[in-house]
Structure 1
Amino acid sequence: MKTSAFALSAAFFAPGAYSWGLVGHATVGYVAQHYLDGAAKIMTSHLLNGEPLANVASWADTFRYTKDGQFSAPLHYIDAHDDVPKKCGVKLDRDCGPEGCIVTAIANYTTRMLDDKLSKEERGDALKFIIHFLGDISQPLHTENLDVGGNTITVKWGTEGAASKTNLHSVWDRNIVETLAEGTTLAAAESLSKGIIEDLENGIYKDLKDGWTSCGSIKRGTGCPKAWAQDSNKYVCSNVLPNGADVLRDQDVSGEYYTANAPIARQQLAKGGYRLGKWLNSIAKAEQLKNH
């Protein structure tokens, strides 16, 4: 999905077709909100004019289809030019285009949040980008170049006995997540997030979550975002396309494929939310230290 590939996808897919949908992004926002400390709650409430994270989590998708936001389209992904399914991997110099990518964008907007020379609105926009990109980078196909991040892998998704045509990227963005959430609303996302938070606190993610934020501090620039991209990308080989793209083309993926991958999608939402909460806590702490 370099510039030319993005132009291709924009021509054939509806706006928002390659990003966690409302439910996915809102779920990440709800989970992150739970993990904000006091300083981060004050900071985010100030910059978002009292709006919770979930309510603005999809702002970046809307913004990129405006004249002023066109520049941000390539920042929602990184194109791993790897060898799926034999070998997955992200290399920043190889895969991040000259216009930037999600790895450099997270680092950049983190810096902008801490820049006192910027206006409150500019810092608020930086925060909204971070909220969104921490969701996007958790979706494996946002870290893969093959078939425009899965956008040109045509598949079917069964609904009430009638399978509708879609593409694999949209399946990961929406179909799997909305099925997990049993809905397409903020309320459905909030319900899904509560189960994820319970698993982060007392369930299957309890002993895993510390490892999800072990990449270091915000001072490392692209260090953590690159590690998160690597983490997501590995699932392209192991789960998203374990046997390559051709075996999935024109197939209904709402059965066994969904059953196998729903736990991965749910875990990625948990990672995105937990990492976002902790990342914003670090930004708030850096803000406090800077002002003392």
Structure 2
Amino acid sequence: MKTAVLALSASLFAQGAYSWGAMGHATVGYIAQNYLDGAGKIFTSHLLGGASLASVASWADSYRYTDAGKFSASLHYIDAHDEVPHKCSVKLDRDCGEEGCIVTAIANYTDRALNDNLTLSERTDAVKFIIHFLGDITQPLHTENLDVGGNEISVFWGNGTAKTNLHAAWDRSIPETLAGGSDDATAAKFAKGIIADLDTGIYKDLKEDWTSCGSIKRGTGCPKAWAQDANKLVCSDVLPDGPDAVEGKDLSGDYYTKAAPIARQQLAKGGYRLGLWLNKIAKAEQLKCRD
């Protein structure tokens, strides 16, 4: 049964379910770029050939459509087999498939980014995966198995004018409505406002807790904690009354009003964590070079 669900999940992802959409991922990239320290800037600029984090943030979504990248489809999520809305939880041995999942992928590509036995191109890809997956793991439905991460829950957007699904609503409809568009300029402006809240506003006193699990030496420890953090929102905010409460409903009214600040905060978490995570990788690279 689990194999069948995983196969269906991969199939639906191949049909175009992008976490956060390109605008959301670029937002995460812009936020993270702001928090790179000197070592982080040098490390990422070297491996990305001078490209910004935002410009490569959606690379992994495109790559998985290629013959070389199709193996990575299952790495964008983890299928929590929990009891929404009564109990949300992530258990690695239960929820991470044989092909791997986002929790193991973040740990793996963190190691690969520091592996001198790999080619420069392979290490570059590792960093690009990290940039993308630290965005993915904050989207609550990328940590949930129910109805294939919400892909099979049909909903409407815009006063019933557009049929979509719950996963896509969280990927694109909610953040893009909140930001006011879907292009790169919108992402840059949106990120600027979030950065202000991280520095001096509503997230200032929260961000330390978001990165309390910050050691790249813990393997799957931090990625699992981040997956659990996002997954609990499925019960509290995404589907607090279960799937029947949203099935066939328009979500652009009251549901959006409640969900929008959650989506914005999750993007803030993704960007801030990513910046600090890349700094830690860069520091480990510096220490390695001194040995």
**Aligned AA for 1:121?**
S
Structure 2: distance between partners of 1:152 and 1:145: 11
Question: AA paired with 1:81?
Answer: H
Aligned to 1:225: 223
Shift of 1:13: 6.6
* 3-state SS, counterpart of residue 148 of structure 1: coil
Q: Which residues in structure 2 correspond to 1:52-71 (within 5 Å)?
A: 52-71=52-71
Q: TM-score, normalised by structure 2?
A: 0.97
Name the CA distance, whole Å, in 2 between partners of 1:35 and 1:25.
Answer: 16
Report matched runs for 1:174-213 at 5 Å.
174-213=172-211
- The one-letter code sitting in structure 1 at the alignment partner of 2:124 is G
Q: Assess if the C-alpha contact under 8 Å between 1:209 and 1:274 holds in 2.
A: yes
Measure, in 2, the Cα distance between the counterparts of 1:21 and 1:130: 16
Q: Deviations over 1:215-251 (max 9, x none)?
A: 1410001010000000000000000000000111000
For normalisation by structure 1, the TM-score amounts to 0.96
Letter in 2 for 1:218: I
Distance in 2 separating the partners of 1:61 and 1:128: 11
Cα displacement (A) at 1:4: 3.0
Alpha-carbon distance between aligned partners in 2 of 1:252 and 1:10, rounded to the nearest angstrom: 26
Q: In the alignment, what sits opposite 1:148?
A: 148
Which stretches of structure 1, 4 residues or more, deviate above 2 A after TM superposition?
1-16
Q: How many residues were matched structurally?
A: 290
Q: Alignment partner of 2:148: what SS?
A: helix
Identify the residue that residue 95 of structure 1 maps to in structure 2.
Answer: 95
For residue 69 of structure 1, report the CA deviation from its aligned partner. Answer: 0.6
Task: Say yes or no: does 1:259 pair with 2:257.
Answer: yes
Q: Which amino acid aligns with 2:106?
A: I
Change (3 A) 1:12 1:140: closer
> Counterpart amino acid of 2:16?
G
Native 8 Å contact 2:14 2:73 kept in 1: no
Counterpart position of 2:41: 41
Residues in 1 aligned to 2:13 and 2:116: alpha-carbon distance in whole angstroms = 39
Deviation of residue 98 (structure 1)?
1.0
Q: Choose 11-20 or 24-33, whichever is displaced more.
A: 11-20
Checking the alignment, whether the CA contact within 8 Å between 1:217 and 1:224 is kept in structure 2 is: yes
Secondary structure in 2 matching 1:150 = coil
Assess, with a 3 A threshold, how the Cα gap between structure 1 residues 3 and 63 changes in structure 2: closer, same or farther.
Answer: farther
Change (3 A) 1:67 1:199: same
Displacement after TM superposition at 1:12 (Å)? 5.5
Cα distance in structure 2, aligned partners of 1:93 and 1:111: 21
Change (3 A) 1:144 1:286: same
Shift of 1:180: 1.1
- After TM superposition, give the deviation of residue 40 of structure 1 in Å: 0.7
When residues 3 and 194 of structure 1 are mapped into structure 2, their CA distance, relative to the original with a 3 A threshold, is farther
Structure 1: unaligned runs, 5 residues or longer: none
Q: What secondary structure, in the 3-state scheme, does the structure 2 residue paired with 1:291 have?
A: helix
Unaligned runs of 5+ in 2: none
The residue aligned with 1:245 is 243
Q: 1:249 to 1:110 in 2, by over 3 A?
A: same
Instruction: Tell me the amino acid that sits aligned with residue 31 of structure 1.
Output: I
Contact 2:13 2:73 (8 Å CA) reproduced? no
Identity of aligned residues (%): 73
Aligned partner letter, 2:130: I
Q: Distance in 1 between matches of 2:115 and 2:226?
A: 24
Q: Which amino acid aligns with 1:113?
A: A
- State yes or no: 1:164 paired with 2:162: yes
Q: Give the Cα separation in 2 of the matches to 1:174 and 1:273.
A: 17
RMSD of Structure 2 on Structure 1 (CA)? 1.4
Equivalent residue for 1:114?
114
Equivalent pair of 1:113/1:127 in contact (CA under 8 Å): yes
